[in-house]
């Protein structure tokens, strides 16, 4: 049985360890063997922390459970500080960038008893929606090696999808938790901005404005129950993040049980598989007493526009500093973005006033529809490097994430949920709710997952 422990959920493993059915060492060893077996096919794990993980497992086996993930391994994106391992950001220049303390999310996972097992891949500085860099190379999609695994938390998603880890940590400023979850067939939670703290022990210690307003840390896993537990473990104030807050994990029952299905995205035509997944999710909730209606969220085009301007304002400021340490292709994509969203044409006062207005009218929309279900990506995972094509790369990126951007610009929570497989690729949906209502996203996701099940772990498919 220990050879197949990598198939289990994080919660299932924790219970087995707690009940002495298996040891933490057996769980860690099973995942190490799995990494050694399948990682060469997808390049998701960049550093295997085998020695320290086995030592921590032996310690865990000597003691009673200290937390809900006692003895369970977890994986960590390589732009999140984990003591004893470099925070490379996917850059050769940062190969020896060793943190002096754990990031808040890593510290909280450890406090819950979880054991760091592996670091996972990302694009340079997390600034693409695919996963490739000059330091670690390309991460492959386990469902189709010719297509993107998504990004920027693509190593996490590919590793989770193939059973190399039961639960992991990523982050998101433009879908980086949700994009790869969709591409690889797993689930993830993008929390409300401020719900889960983020901080680094290495400079720059303070984020630029777009990152302050839009970037978040979050859990990734194969099971909704696991991201629910991750949400509970990771949430809450940390003094290293002045934006972070303590807020209730559960809110009151909404005044109605209305669900909005978003089947029209301005500027693109949704793929047939996306439409089918959205309608199927709606039908599962309808059968459980929800009032499901097709509806259009307000001013989605303006949301996408302001997200682009806000992110570009950061990129313009940092490009002179980061360009010399990034690849030419990645810099070209960033230059394309700042050309598309010329910040000289968007006064700061207008940008932030408009962002506030959009937040208000979306909140009113959520009052009418407490749960909103739409696509994660508007189309299937693209072929490798389509996002850096000099002619079409920017549109390939921006068109895919037209329903991703509300989560970041407006700071609202979202769950990416797999819905099955079509033509050999995962399908999926995205579930939104108003600020601080992660509980509604997770409840809806759990109800739908109970009907559709999970599609991972899988063996990589060439």
Residues labelled as active-site residues? 77, 152, 176
Residue with tokens 């693109």: 268
456: left (phi over 0), alpha (psi -120 to 50) or beta: beta
Contact assessment for residue 80 and residue 103, using Cβ atoms and an 8 Å cutoff: yes
Order across the sheet with 258-261: list the strands: 45-48, 115-120, 73-77, 167-172, 216-221, 187-190, 414-422, 425-432, 371-374, 258-261, 291-294
Place of tokens 């307003």: 213
In three-state secondary structure terms, 102 is coil
Contact (CB, 8 A) for 105 and 120 = no
- Extract the tokens encoding 203: 């400079």
Which residues are within 8 A (CB) of 210 and not within 5 positions of it... i.e. 6 or more apart?
Answer: 173, 310, 311, 313, 314
The DSSP H or E segment spanning 259 is strand 258-261
Q: Which phi and psi (to 5°) does residue 213 adopt?
A: -85, -25
Whether the CB-CB separation of 396 and 378 falls below 8 Å is answered with: no
């Amino acid at each position: 049985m220990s050879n197949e422990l990598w198939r289990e959920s994080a919660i299932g493993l924790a219970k087995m360890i707690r009940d002495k059915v298996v040891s933490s060492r057996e769980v860690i060893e099973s995942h190490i063997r799995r990494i050694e077996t399948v990682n060469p096919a997808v390049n998701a794990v960049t550093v295997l922390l085998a020695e320290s993980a086995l030592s921590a497992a032996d310690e865990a086996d000597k003691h009673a459970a200290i937390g809900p993930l006692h003895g369970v391994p977890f994986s960590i994106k390589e732009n999140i500080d984990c003591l004893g391992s470099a925070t490379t950001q996917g850059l050769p220049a940062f190969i020896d960038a060793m943190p002096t303390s754990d990031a808040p999310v890593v510290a909280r996972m450890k406090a819950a008893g979880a054991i760091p097992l592996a670091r996972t891949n990302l694009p340079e500085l997390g600034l693409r929606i695919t996963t490739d860099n000059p330091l670690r190379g390309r991460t492959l999609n386990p469902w189709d090696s010719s297509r993107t695994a998504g990004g920027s938390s693509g190593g996490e998603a590919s590793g989770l999808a193939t059973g190399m880890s039961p639960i992991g940590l990523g982050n998101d400023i433009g879908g980086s938790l949700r994009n790869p979850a969709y591409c690889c067939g797993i689930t993830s939670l993008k929390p409300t901005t401020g719900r889960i703290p983020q901080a680094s022990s290495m400079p720059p210690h303070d984020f630029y404005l777009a990152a302050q307003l839009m970037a978040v840390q979050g859990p990734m896993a194969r099971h909704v129950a696991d991201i629910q537990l991750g949400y509970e473990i990771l949430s809450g104030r940390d003094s290293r993040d002045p934006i972070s807050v303590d807020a209730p994990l559960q809110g009151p029952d909404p005044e109605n049980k209305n669900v909005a299905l978003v089947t029209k995205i301005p500027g693109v035509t949704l793929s047939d598989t996306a439409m089918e997944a959205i309608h199927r999710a709606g039908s599962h909730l309808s059968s459980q007493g929800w009032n499901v209606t097709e509806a259009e969220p307000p001013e989605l085009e303006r949301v996408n526009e302001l997200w682009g301007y806000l992110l570009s304002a950061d990129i313009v400021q940092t490009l002179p500093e980061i360009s010399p340490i990034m690849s030419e292709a990645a810099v070209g994509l960033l230059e394309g973005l700042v050309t598309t969203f010329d910040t000289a044409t968007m006064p700061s006062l207008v940008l932030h006033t408009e962002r506030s207005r959009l937040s208000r009218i979306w909140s009113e929309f959520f009052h009418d529809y407490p749960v909103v279900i739409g696509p994660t990506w508007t189309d299937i995972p693209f072929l490798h490097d389509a996002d850096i094509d000099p002619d079409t790369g920017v549109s390939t990126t921006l068109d895919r994430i037209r329903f991703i951007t509300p989560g970041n610009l407006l700071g609202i929570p979202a769950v990416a949920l797999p819905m099955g497989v079509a033509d050999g690729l995962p399908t999926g949906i995205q579930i939104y709710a108003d600020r601080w209502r992660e509980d509604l996203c997770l409840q809806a996701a759990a109800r739908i997952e109970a009907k559709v099940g999970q599609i991972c772990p899988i063996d990589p498919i060439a």
